[in-house]
Structure 1
Amino acid sequence: MPYVAVTALSHSGLIRDHNEDSLVVGPWTLCGTVTENPQTLVFPLGTPLVVAVADGLGGQPAGEVASSLVVRQLAALGPSLDGEGTVRDALDICNQSVYAAADGDPELVTMGTTVAGAVVLAESLLVFNVGDSKVFDAAPGGLRQVSVDDSPLPPPGRRTTSAVTQTLGGSPVFSAVTPHVTARALSAGDRYLVCTDGLTDPCPDEAIDSVLREHDGGRAAFELWKGAIEAGGPDNITLAMVRIGE
């Protein structure tokens, strides 16, 4: 029987004193905590399965509150996400929920989060994001980013930038978002990586591609985390490996 295997982990890294990332895999959420080892969950292929990461905005209050709110909302809405329109609507609801939670609370005002992920359907994959967390197609021909960064070009001499041009929440007054959502055909053996910039900022695409060419599942997740830690672990690291089996 066709199935979806998702291997995930979340870690605070070496610099941050707590984890503001959150993760959703189907009905399962992990919010602002640390996993000791990669965890693998297996689901039958068919019912919409949402896999996403949310990265609370650093330098602004309550990033972990915003990210956890978004993944819990996606977990609740997940079974209804059967097309591009429903995914866009869900992300609009998430955005409104972050602003509503922050309204009138000085400890939460301007809290916000990025989000990136995929909804696995029976024959297709819906890739989505708001912000600079990423989704990659780990195809045999090489790693390819399939999400769209909401960020300006990095300054000369730098590979990355911490600036983002669109987030869920993050402003004193409500700001609507335009989510990036695309549909892709799905086949047995396909692999996707969903991750926060705690992985991609310290680890260039070439390093991630090298790991995924050699490893799969829990070993791949561990080696990716290890690479980010060995590169200094400057931020929270959250990732999910999605594999279509038969």
Structure 2
Amino acid sequence: MPYVAVSALSHTGLVREHNEDSLVVGPWSLCGTVTENPQTLLFPLGTPLVVAVADGLGGQPAGEVASALVVRRLAALGPSLDSEEAVRAAVELCNRTVYTAAGGDPELLGMGTTVAGIVLLTDSLLVFNVGDSRVLDVSGKELQQLSVDDNPPLPPGQRTTSVVTQTLGGTAGLTAVTPHVTTRELSVGDRFVVCSDGLTDPVPEAELWDVLRVHDNGRAAFELWKAAIDAGGPDNITLALLRVGQ
């Protein structure tokens, strides 16, 4: 029977005072806390399985609250996410959920988060994101980014930016989002990484690929985290590595 192995971790990094990232893997969520070691979970393919990372906005209130609201909502909706339309509706609902919570508490006003993830179906994959957290396909002979960064165009020679052009929440009043959602075929042997920019900003794609060519599962998740730490760990680091087996 086809299955998916998900190895995941979340860490504060070396600079931030606390973790504003959250993670969902099926019914399991990890919100604003730290895993000492990668956790590996196995799921049969069939019922839609959502795996997503939400990165609370730094420099604004309660990023960890916004990211936790989103992953918990996705965990509850996960089994119903069987189409692009369902995923778009779920992400838009997450956006409204963040704004509703912020509107009820002055200390939460302006909180926001990015989100990026995948939904695994029996033989296909739904990819979605708002913001600059990423979904990467590491199945073939090179790394391929499947998500779409919501960043302004970068000047020549600049690889990263902290500016994000759309997020879930993040402003004083409700602002609509346009989620990026696509469908891809899914095959045994496919591998994917879902991560916050605490991994991809400090670690170039070539270095990520070097790790993934050598390691898999929990060891790969650990080595990716270590690469971000070795690069200075400037942000929270949250990632999930998925492998489809049989």
TM-score with structure 1 length normalisation? 0.99
| Amino acid of the structure 2 residue aligned with 1:228 | A
Q: Deviations over 1:102-123 (max 9, x none)?
A: 0042210010000000000001
Aligned to 2:106: 106
| Amino acid of the structure 1 residue aligned with 2:237 | I
Contact 2:45 2:121 in 1 (8 A): yes
Aligned to 2:6: 6
Q: CA deviation at 1:154?
A: 2.6
21-30 or 138-147, larger mean C-alpha shift: 138-147
| Amino acid of the structure 2 residue aligned with 1:198 | G
Corresponding residue SS for 1:7:
strand
Q: Deviations over 1:64-103 (max 9, x none)?
A: 0000000000000000000000000000100000000000
Matched residues in 1 for 2:197 and 2:79: separation?
Answer: 27
Aligned to 2:231: 231
Contact 2:191 2:244 in 1 (8 A): yes
| Amino acid of the structure 2 residue aligned with 1:32 | G
Q: CA deviation at 1:156?
A: 4.1
Aligned pair 1:132/2:94, yes or no? no
| Amino acid of the structure 2 residue aligned with 1:92 | E
| Amino acid of the structure 1 residue aligned with 2:137 | D
Contact 1:140 1:213 in 2 (8 A): no
Matched residues in 2 for 1:13 and 1:41: separation?
Answer: 23
Matched residues in 1 for 2:55 and 2:229: separation?
Answer: 18
Aligned pair 1:28/2:28, yes or no? yes
Matched residues in 2 for 1:187 and 1:61: separation?
Answer: 41
Q: CA deviation at 1:139?
A: 2.0
Aligned-pair identity in percent equals 74
Aligned to 1:212: 212
Matched residues in 2 for 1:215 and 1:2: separation?
Answer: 21
Aligned to 1:176: 176
Contact 2:124 2:183 in 1 (8 A): yes
Aligned to 1:240: 240
Matched residues in 2 for 1:105 and 1:229: separation?
Answer: 35
Q: CA deviation at 1:140?
A: 2.4
Matched residues in 2 for 1:154 and 1:163: separation?
Answer: 10
Aligned to 1:16: 16
Q: Deviations over 1:134-177 (max 9, x none)?
A: 00000221100000000012344321001000000000010000
Aligned pair 1:141/2:131, yes or no? no
1:34-183 equivalences in 2 (<5 Å): 34-183=34-183
Matched residues in 2 for 1:178 and 1:134: separation?
Answer: 16
Moved over 4 A (4+): none
* Structure 1: 5+ residue stretches without partners: none
Contact 2:22 2:68 in 1 (8 A): yes
Matched residues in 2 for 1:152 and 1:224: separation?
Answer: 26
Contact 2:139 2:189 in 1 (8 A): no
Corresponding residue SS for 2:106:
coil
TM-score with structure 2 length normalisation? 0.99
Contact 1:13 1:233 in 2 (8 A): yes
Matched residues in 1 for 2:155 and 2:26: separation?
Answer: 38
Q: CA deviation at 1:188?
A: 0.1
Contact 2:54 2:113 in 1 (8 A): yes
